[in-house]
């Protein structure tokens, strides 16, 4: 007996809709594919040793390749059956309400431009390397995927700037700069560490002034973010369940 496969209908977005674009993959130049390749090949040897197992599994599960920029439709095709997440192309930096709305719908807002050769180490705004190489592999992990959707939902529902600032710190010290203890060793999973050679080296070599504390929700919600310098404090989790539970705890406390 054959079973008809019903394609999932596109989700309707209220505020993020105007920011959605198509990725014109065929328009990338050989030079741009070359920049992606150089960035990936530079990061992988360090990450194979120091990224968490879930990131490395996700990288292969979503089919990322070193030699060409990712086709976001192909990435989503591999990701969606696993966790329901998609990597959805957007026109650039999103206003907070549009960003949270997309996370709550399991659509990760993904930029399609790639940095130039002059700014291989750092770009002030996220590009496709930060977004796809840095973030998207973690979305193949079921608990991380549940955590991120829930985070989006509680932020989308909040109208308080103070609450959103605190929740922004939770995002910063997990999704962007998270580290996890695996068999007693610190491994990176935050996209800001995955995608930056300098920031990641700072963590691995325990650079000057860096303190790695056990994850503590109270401390994280109070820890101000410094986006202009190397991180001075990071919070190590024991499992991804811990940040999912912490997010629910933050919701009940701050809501």
Q: Least distance (Å) from Fe ion to the CB of residue 27? A: 24
Q: How far is the CB of 200 from Fe ion (least distance, A)?
A: 14
Integer Cα distance of 9 and 140 in angstroms:
21
Count of C-beta atoms within a 10 Å radius of residue 112: 22
Tell me which stretch binds Fe ion (CB under 5 A): 71-79, 88-96, 191-199, 245-253.
Answer: 191-199
Residue 1 token pair? 């007996």
Which is closer to Fe ion, CB of 86 or CB of 191? 191
Q: Is residue 21 within 8 Å of residue 89, measured between CB atoms?
A: yes
Q: x/- string (CB under 5 A) for Fe ion, residues 199-218?
A: --------------------
Specify the length of the chain in residues.
255
Compare residues 151 and 184 and give the one whose CB is closer to Fe ion: 151
Tokens of 171: 């995002």
| Residue in 86, 111, 191, 196 binding Fe ion, rule: CB under 5 A | 191
Distances (CA, A) of 131 to 60, 85, 87, 171, 194: 16, 14, 9, 15, 10
Residue 231 touching Fe ion (CB under 5 A): no
Q: Is 111 in the site for Fe ion (CB under 5 A)?
A: no
Select 69 or 193, whichever has its Cβ closest to Fe ion: 193
Q: CA 116 to CA 174: how far, in whole Å? A: 28
Question: Which of these segments, 7-15, 53-61, 190-198, 235-243, binds Fe ion (CB under 5 A)?
Answer: 190-198
Interaction of residue 112 with Fe ion, rule CB under 5 A: no
Task: Give catalytic residues, as residue numbers.
Answer: 130, 135, 176, 195
Provide the minimum distance between the beta carbon of 202 and Fe ion in the complex, in angstroms, as a whole number: 17
Structure tokens at 105: 């719908």
Residue 177: how many CB atoms within 10 A of its CB?
24
d(CA 72, CA 84): 14
Give, for 180, the enclosing helix (H) or strand (E): strand 179-182
Stretch that binds Fe ion, among 14-22, 68-76, 186-194, 223-231 (CB under 5 A): 186-194
State the residue number with the nearest CB to Fe ion. 191
Nearer to Fe ion, 199 or 223 (CB): 199
Window contacting Fe ion (CB under 5 A); options: 3-11, 27-35, 185-193, 222-230:
185-193
Structure token digits, residue 103: 């996370």
Nearest to 194 by CA among 244, 139, 142, 112: 139
Of 196 and 247, the one with the shorter C-beta distance to Fe ion is: 196
Toward Fe ion, which CB reaches closer, 7 or 203? 203
The pair of three-digit structure tokens given for residue 57, joined into one six-digit string: 């599994």
Decide if residue 76 touches Fe ion (CB under 5 A).
no
* Interface positions with Fe ion (CB under 5 A): 191
């Amino acid at each position: 007996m054959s079973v008809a496969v019903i394609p999932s209908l596109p989700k309707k977005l209220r505020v993020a809709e105007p920011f959605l674009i198509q990725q014109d993959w065929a328009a990338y130049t050989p030079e741009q594919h070359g920049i992606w390749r150089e960035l990936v090949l530079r990061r992988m040897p360090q990450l194979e040793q120091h990224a968490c197992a879930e990131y490395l599994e996700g990288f292969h599960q979503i089919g990322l390749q070193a030699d060409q920029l990712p086709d976001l439709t192909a990435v989503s095709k591999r990701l969606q059956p696993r966790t329901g997440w998609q990597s959805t192309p957007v026109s650039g930096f999103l206003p907070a309400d549009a960003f949270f709305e997309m996370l709550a719908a399991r659509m990760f807002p993904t930029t399609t431009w790639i940095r130039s050769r002059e700014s291989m180490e750092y770009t002030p705004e996220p590009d496709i390397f930060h977004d796809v190489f840095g973030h998207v592999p973690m979305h193949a992990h079921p608990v991380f995927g549940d955590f991120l959707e829930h985070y989006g939902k509680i932020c989308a529902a909040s109208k308080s700037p103070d609450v959103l600032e605190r929740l922004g710190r939770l995002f910063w010290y997990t999704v962007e700069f998270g580290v996890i203890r695996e068999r007693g060793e610190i491994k990176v999973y935050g996209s800001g560490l995955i995608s930056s050679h300098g920031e990641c080296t700072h963590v691995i070599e325990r650079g000057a002034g860096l303190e790695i504390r056990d994850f503590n929700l109270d401390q994280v919600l109070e820890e101000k973010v410094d986006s202009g310098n190397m991180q001075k404090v990071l919070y190590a989790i024991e499992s991804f369940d811990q940040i999912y539970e912490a997010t629910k705890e933050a919701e009940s406390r701050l809501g």
